Amino acid sequence: MQILDGKSTALAVREELKKAVEDRKSKGQKIPHLVAVLVGNDGGSLTYVGAKVKACKEIGFDSTLIHLSENISEKELLEQVEKLNKDSDVDGFIVQLPLPKHIDEKKITLAIDPKKDVDGFHPNNLGNMVLNLPCFLPATPAGMMELLRRYEVETAGKHCVVIGRSHIVGSPMSILMARNTSPGNATVTLAHSRTKNLKELTLQADIIVSAIGQPNFLTADMVKEGAVVLDVGITRVEDSSKKSGYKLLGDVDFEQVAPKCSFITPVPGGVGPMTIVSLMMNTLKAMELRGDNLSAN
Task: Please say if 18 is a catalytic residue.
Answer: no
- The one among 235, 246, 256, 269 contacting ligand NDP by CB under 6 A: 235
Q: Return phi, psi of residue 290, to 5°.
A: -55, 125
At residue 296, what is the residue type?
A: A
* Angle in degrees, CA 200, 204, 210, rounded to 5: 80
Cβ atoms 91, 290 nearer than 8 A: yes
The stretch among 19-27, 71-79, 115-123, 227-235 that binds ligand NDP (CB under 6 A) is 227-235
**Residue 213 binds ligand NDP (CB under 6 A):** yes
Pairing type for strands 62-68 and 33-39 reads parallel
Site for ligand NDP in 11-70 (CB under 6 A): none
Q: Pattern 148-187, binding to ligand NDP, x per CB under 6 A?
A: ---------------xxxx-xxx-----------------
Catalytic residue among 5, 52, 80, 115: 52
Pick the closest to residue 36 from 20, 21, 47, 22 (CA basis).
47
Number of residues counted as binding ligand NDP (CB under 6 A): 25
The stretch among 68-76, 172-180, 192-200, 285-293 that binds ligand NDP (CB under 6 A) is 192-200
CA atoms of 250 and 267, how far apart (whole Å): 5
Cβ atoms 273, 82 nearer than 8 A: no
Q: How far is the CB of 24 from ligand NDP (least distance, A)?
A: 27
Q: 21 or 143: whose CB is closer to ligand NDP?
A: 143
For residue 237, give the DSSP letter: E
For residue 295, give the DSSP letter: P
At residue 229, what is the residue type?
A: V
C-beta nearest to ligand NDP: residue = 213
CA atoms of 236 and 44, how far apart (whole Å): 9
* Enclosing H/E stretch for 58: helix 43-58
Q: Pattern 273-292, binding to ligand NDP, x per CB under 6 A?
A: --x-----------------
Q: 206 or 251: whose CB is closer to ligand NDP?
A: 251
Pairing type for strands 33-39 and 187-191 reads unpaired
Cβ atoms 192, 164 nearer than 8 A: yes
Catalytic residue among 119, 206, 231, 251: 119
Around Cβ 152, how many Cβ atoms within 10 Å?
Answer: 8
Q: If DSSP codes are grouped into helix, strand and coil, which group holds residue 25?
A: helix
- The one among 33, 272, 278, 297 contacting ligand NDP by CB under 6 A: 272
Q: 140 or 283: whose CB is closer to ligand NDP?
A: 140
CA atoms of 232 and 253, how far apart (whole Å): 13
Task: Please say if 119 is a catalytic residue.
Answer: yes
Q: How far is the CB of 47 from ligand NDP (least distance, A)?
A: 11
- The one among 99, 178, 211, 227 contacting ligand NDP by CB under 6 A: 211
Site for ligand NDP in 95-154 (CB under 6 A): 140
- The one among 85, 124, 195, 262 contacting ligand NDP by CB under 6 A: 195
Interface with ligand NDP by CB under 6 A: which residues?
140, 163-166, 168-170, 191-195, 198, 211-214, 232-235, 271-272, 275
Active site residues: 52, 96, 119
